[in-house]
A and B are shown apart, each in its own frame.
Chain A
Amino acid sequence: MDIPRHWRLKKQRYALVGEVCDHCDSKVFPPRDICPDCGEEAKTLYSFSGKGEVYSYTKVFEAPAGFDENAPYTVAMVKLEEGPLVTAQLTDLDESNLEIGMPVEMVTRKLRSATDERGMLVYGYKFRPVMA
Chain B
Amino acid sequence: MNEVVIAGIGQTSVGEQWDISLRELAYYALEAARLDAGGLTPQALYVSNMLAPALSHQSHLATLVADFAGLQGIEASTIEAAGASGGMALRMGYIAVASGTVDVAMVLGVEKMTDQTVSNVTAAAATTMDADYEAEHGLTLTSQAALLMKRYLHEFDVPEFAFSGFPIIAHANGATNKNAMFQRAIKLASYQRAGMVSDPMNMFDVAPNADGSAAVILTRPELLPKKFVHPLIQINGSSAVTDTLALHDRPDPIVFNAARLSVERACSQAGIIPSDVDLFELYDAFSIYGALALEAAGLSEKGKGWEWASNGDLSLEGKLPISTFGGLKARGNPGGATGVYQAVEATLQLRNQAGENQVKDAKTAMIQAFGGPSSTSVTHILSKLG
Cα of A64 to Cα of B119 in the assembled complex, Å: 5
Q: State whether the Cβ of B217 lies closer than 8 Å to any Cβ in chain A.
A: no
B148 to chain A, nearest CB (A): 7
Q: State whether the Cβ of B146 lies closer than 8 Å to any Cβ in chain A.
A: yes
List B196-240 residues whose CB lies under 8 Å from chain A.
196-201
Return the CB mask of A49-61 against B: 1 if under 8 Å, else 0: 0000001111111
List A47-83 residues whose CB lies under 8 Å from chain B.
55-68, 70, 73, 75-77
Cα of A66 to Cα of B126 in the assembled complex, Å: 12
Number of interface residues of B (CB under 8 A): 38
List B302-339 residues whose CB lies under 8 Å from chain A.
none
Chain A binding surface, main DSSP class: strand
Number of interface residues of A (CB under 8 A): 35
Given A5-B132, A58-B199, A122-B136, also A77-B247 (CB < 8 A): yes
Given A65-B120, A100-B154, also A60-B138 (CB < 8 A): yes
Q: Which of A5, A59, A84 contacts B199 (CB 8 A)?
A: A59
Cα of A84 to Cα of B246 in the assembled complex, Å: 12
List B120-144 residues whose CB lies under 8 Å from chain A.
120, 122-123, 126, 130, 132-140, 142-143
Name the residue in A56, A70, A111 with the highest tally of chain B Cβ atoms < 10 Å from its Cβ: A56
Given A58-B199, A75-B143, A87-B248, also A111-B154 (CB < 8 A): no
Q: Are A63 and B142 in contact (CB under 8 A)?
A: no
Given A60-B138, A70-B138, A111-B137, also A65-B147 (CB < 8 A): no
Q: Are B119 and A68 in contact (CB under 8 A)?
A: yes
Cα of A101 to Cα of B301 in the assembled complex, Å: 25
Cα of A81 to Cα of B350 in the assembled complex, Å: 52
A17 to chain B, nearest CB (A): 13
List B161-199 residues whose CB lies under 8 Å from chain A.
196-199
- What are the 5 A-B residue pairs with the smallest beta carbon separation, nearest first? A64-B123, A58-B146, A85-B248, A56-B151, A65-B123
- Given A56-B253, A60-B142, A67-B138, 10 more contacts at CB 8 Å? A5-B132, A9-B132, A58-B147, A62-B122, A62-B140, A62-B197, A63-B122, A65-B119, A87-B137, A124-B136
